[in-house]
Every structure is written in structure tokens, then in C-alpha cells.
A = this chain, B = another copy of it.
């Protein structure tokens, strides 16, 4: 059998899971109750397959370092990591075209791609492994193999796949793909046994999907081919990054792989499977993962409830007192609170869309902002001051930088810091502090083996994140540029 390359495709922002999922921390990074992210679950699932030596991830370049951070603790077997880094989302057809071109060029035209969305959940990993085992020989024969999830209820939020003639004991031709049905139709599908959910997972040879893309959407393939030629490559000992060039990637039509190829190709097959699958598409889907108490409530964090039933309450930092509520979804984060009728969990995306339209920070960012070197959290802002907690990973450094208008007081509360402050270089231990004057080039790094946690008090007349001059940057960001550190 030819080589199998799992391709994790990280797509949309998960607007229906606002305020936890946001543009800069999209749905794949959402943590489940066991502490793992959806992305980590997806990686672990791919790593559980036989003979996986390399794995390709197609994701936004903004989340590259976070993706590495999520993979690192799971990658004990040292799977080689390839990344295709998108400047912006362009739907699944261009992403899969780029993946197929990359795999074909690098691992052979007959290498198989296993397309895995980064933000779905599969509870039964053994069943998943078995389904992939069933799909691979079909892919080898030149089929575009979809995984059809046996419906557990009359869901109106998914597309369906209608089975055709049996190909063998565990696979079928596909009669047709069907868009989201109405409730009555969905009910008939569940009862009829001929329809399966389309979960967006595929197994196929690189040359086969490329051929179909060329036939049905040649402009997608040619735009992505052109883009890949112009893209920046960076190869490390265990990682390869392909950073897609923006202008040429923007030429690729925004179209899904279903619409571009699957609904038209004669080569599509489906492997029905029961995987304990969920797309975690809304807070309602998140609820289904968590046991409820006798009143039907699902609470994380501190609550005092009086005559409250069937409510989902997630508030990790703030006490919630509630009186006389039924079937509400309440999700509290440090800067934004969601309260929604449980029956309306799909409409949460309307709030996220409105925030996007307004250009509101709460659409894009969390109070805690992840950076290649760690993270920072704005604790408080006021006239002439801003207080941040800064966490720097062991061995990591911020850029050498300078601010014109603000001074910074740094107090180490955990770990050890190495500080360059103008001409001086010093080590600050826990409970020590220093002071950076405006105009003074400075750099912070963590020379230790545990996280450095520091409180920074900025003061000055102007405290915008754009008052920064960067002199160097370990993470390949622009050498001198306005931007956040």
C-alpha cells in the first residue's frame, strides 16, 4: 500500500462557540473537559493509525506556534510535521488542493491523503482506525473515499450522503450528496437507513484528487499551483513550513471540496461508520459531552442556583447566582459574557458576526493573547497605566525592542528572567524587579527550565501596542514594524 499522510485541515473560526472560540483562538484550540484541545484530539487520532511517519497540517499562519505547542506533548513518536500556512481562510477546495500538490511532489503521486477536520470529535478511536483500514484499499484503487457517519438523530445542521450500490462488505458507491435537510426529511433519512452524515473526512490518492480538481475546478488548481511556486519554504530537522504567498492565494476561488469535486465526481465511495462523532458545532453540541445533574444543569465554576433547570453554565473566574431560569447557555470569559436561549445555540454566530462587523476586539482576541514566546494578559488599563501578566516559556525570548512613550516596571513573580536594559544585562530572580526607561532598547528572555511569570506595569502618556520598535525577532516577524511585541 502506498504511503498515508494524514492532513489536518484547520478551518473556520467557530463563531457559534463565541466567546470561547475567537478569530485568533479558533475552535480547534477549544479545550474539552479533559483538558485536551479538539486539535490535540485530532492529532492523537491520526497518530493512532498504523505506519504514520509524517503528518501535514493546513492552517492559518497566525496559529502556527500554538499548533506546534499543542502537538508537542503528544508527539512522542516524533512524527515529522509538514505545515502549509495560509495567510487567510479560503475554504476546503484550495486547502486540499495545496495539500495534494505538496504530498504529490514530496511523497509521490500515489501517496494517500487522509483529510481530517481539526475541530471535530471522535470518541471511538478504534472504530476510526478500522474505518481508515477499510478506506485505504478503495483509495488505492482510485476512489475518493468519504466517511459516512451513521446518523444518531434527525440532524438538520449537516449534509447527508445517500448510499448507492455496495462495493464490498463495508463500502458503497455514492448516489448523491444532499444539502442540509428540513426536519421531516432528516427524520426520514434516519429511519430509512440509506443516508449518512457527511463529516468532511476523506481518504484518496494525491494524483486522483488532483485529476478531479483539474477536471472540475481547474482555476482552483492552477491558482494554488502558482501560489505554491511563489511560497516561502523553511525546513527544520523535524518540521517543514510552506508559507503560502498572499496575492496568489487570493486568486484561488473560495469553494468547498464538496461543491468543487465530491458532488460531481463519479469516483466517490463511502465507508459507513459509527465513531461517536460530533462536529462540536454549537454550545448545544458541547453540552452533549457533559453529564447533567438532577436538575439537568451542567455547571463549571462556582454557582448558587435557585429553581434553575437545564442550564449550561461555564464560568471559571466569577461566581454565578441564578434565579428562576430554564434552558439557558451561560458562558463567561474574562472580557465577555454570553447568555443564550438553549434552543437558539445556532444563533450565537450572529453575535460573533455583529462583533466582527463592529471591529470589536472580543471577536478577534481573548484577554490572554498567545505569542510564539508565551502569552500576555492585560490585567487592567487606566489613564496613563496598563498592567500585564507576561509568561515566557523556558528558553524563549521576546524581541529586542524599544518604546518611545512608555516606561515599564518589571517584577518577576515566578521563575528567572534575563534582561537586557540599554547597556546592562542582568538576571532577575523571583521577587526582584527592574525599570525600563522610555527610549531604552531592552529584551526579556527566560534562561530557565520553568515558566517565567512577570508583572509589567507600563506607565506613560501613550500606551498603544504600536509604540514599539523591534530590532530583532527570533520568530521571523518583521524586523521593525508596528504590532504587538
- Residue on B nearest A414 in the bound complex, by CB: B384
What is the copy number of this chain in the assembly?
2
Give A194 Cβ to nearest chain B Cβ, in Å: 35
Contacts of A318 in B (CB 8 A): 334-337
CB-contact partner of A341 in B315, B323, B413, under 8 A: B323
B337 & A324 in contact (Cβ 8 Å cutoff): no
Q: Report how far A389 CA is from B318 CA in the complex, Å.
A: 19
Q: Is A73 an interface residue (CB 8 A)?
A: no
Which A-B residue pairs are the 10 nearest by beta carbons?
A324-B341, A323-B340, A321-B351, A385-B413, A324-B344, A319-B336, A431-B459, A411-B457, A323-B347, A322-B339
Contacts of A354 in B (CB 8 A): 304, 306
Most buried by B among A323, A335, A336, A380: A323
Contacts of A409 in B (CB 8 A): 409, 411, 433
CB neighbors of B among A396-415 (8 A): 407, 409, 411, 413-414
Contacts of A348 in B (CB 8 A): 321, 323
Q: Is A178 an interface residue (CB 8 A)?
A: no
- Residue on B nearest A317 in the bound complex, by CB: B335
B315 & A337 in contact (Cβ 8 Å cutoff): yes
Q: Report how far A387 CA is from B330 CA in the complex, Å.
A: 28
Q: Report how far A355 CA is from B325 CA in the complex, Å.
A: 19
Q: Is A328 an interface residue (CB 8 A)?
A: yes
CB neighbors of B among A17-36 (8 A): 18-19
- Residue on B nearest A433 in the bound complex, by CB: B409
Give A19 Cβ to nearest chain B Cβ, in Å: 7
Q: Report how far A315 CA is from B336 CA in the complex, Å.
A: 10
Measured CB to CB, the residues of A under 8 A from B are 18-19, 304, 306-307, 315, 318-325, 328, 330, 332, 334-341, 343-344, 347-348, 350-352, 354-355, 358, 360, 362, 379-380, 382-385, 387, 389, 407, 409, 411, 413-414, 430-431, 433, 435, 453, 455, 457, 459-460
A318-B335, A332-B337 are known contacts; what are 20 more A-B pairs with Cβ within 8 Å?
A18-B321, A306-B347, A307-B347, A315-B337, A318-B334, A321-B336, A322-B338, A323-B339, A323-B340, A323-B341, A323-B344, A323-B350, A328-B339, A379-B387, A382-B453, A384-B413, A384-B414, A384-B430, A387-B387, A433-B435
Contacts A/B (CB < 8 Å), 16 sampled: A19-B319, A19-B321, A304-B351, A315-B337, A319-B335, A319-B337, A320-B336, A321-B336, A322-B340, A323-B344, A323-B348, A325-B328, A339-B339, A379-B380, A385-B414, A387-B387
Q: Report how far A460 CA is from B347 CA in the complex, Å.
A: 47
Q: Report how far A78 CA is from B299 CA in the complex, Å.
A: 54
- Residue on B nearest A348 in the bound complex, by CB: B323
B389 & A407 in contact (Cβ 8 Å cutoff): no
Contacts of A414 in B (CB 8 A): 382-385
Give A392 Cβ to nearest chain B Cβ, in Å: 15
B383 & A389 in contact (Cβ 8 Å cutoff): no
- Residue on B nearest A323 in the bound complex, by CB: B340
Contacts of A335 in B (CB 8 A): 318-319
Q: Report how far A414 CA is from B385 CA in the complex, Å.
A: 9
A433 & B431 in contact (Cβ 8 Å cutoff): no
Give A467 Cβ to nearest chain B Cβ, in Å: 15
- Residue on B nearest A305 in the bound complex, by CB: B351
CB-contact partner of A389 in B319, B350, B380, B413, under 8 A: B380
